[in-house]
Amino acid sequence: MNSDMPNRAGPHLVSGHPPSAPSAPGARPPLQHRVAIVTGGTGALGQAVTLRFLTEGAVVAVPYAVAKERDQLCERAAPADRGRLVTEPVDVTDLAAMTAFVERTVAARGRVDILVGAVGGFAAGSLLETDEATWRRMLDLNLTSAFAATKAVAPHMVRARYGRIVLVASRAVVVPAGGVIAYTVSKAGVIALAQALARELGPHGVTVNAVLPSTMDTPANRAAMPDSDRRGWVPVEAVADAIAMLAREQAAHITGTLLAV
């Protein structure tokens, strides 16, 4: 990726991710006492991230839209972890709603340390095939949701001089392709947002990175592409592993990175 700005945050496209080191017996869970917000936390990837964070000791607050998905997430959470899982219906594309959700989370838990922006949607179609409603829907789901969430958490992280922000973009848009114009532009915007925020927030102790999955092995993708060769599809748990690594305290020197999974 080229940039005409000084490479302070160092945007890099990195393929794969280092495996997370197993915790030593009796060691403190890596995210213990951390408070995370996971937008899209009831979707296929979002559930994998939420469950991973709970396992690693975090309190996880999830704004949701679909009650059935919320119920599934709560059922999948280990009984010992459910007391650290907070869910609330919130329009994640609405800045005022997201700001209020973050304020309630901070009031209840005292802090917000981690944000994962995992809300997303997909729509195919070239420019000539894409209507305005589809264009706006893709921008809202993929880009406006990331803007609203980061703007809501950033003041708290800046004051604390600590934060980990991980946004989910797409490996498919690093070299933009035709045929999926609204999706491509909206996810490319997420990449630009992450790189710009890495530079804005870096001096305040806040890291910002983007994870770029290729096709993920989800029920929705299996239904949409029933005849596809799935051997190269990425398990959502592998993407969650990459996100968890970037969310840890030890990732303090990783920022402005595009991590392809």
Q: How many CB atoms are closer than 10 A to CB 20?
A: 14
Which residue out of 53, 64, 162, 183 is catalytically annotated?
Answer: 183
Give φ, ψ of 176 to 5 degrees. -55, 135
The answer to whether 160 and 109 are in contact (CB under 8 A) is no
Q: How far apart, in whole angstroms, are the C-alpha atoms of residue 214 and residue 151?
A: 27
Active site annotation includes 162: no
Q: Which residues are the active-site residues?
A: 183
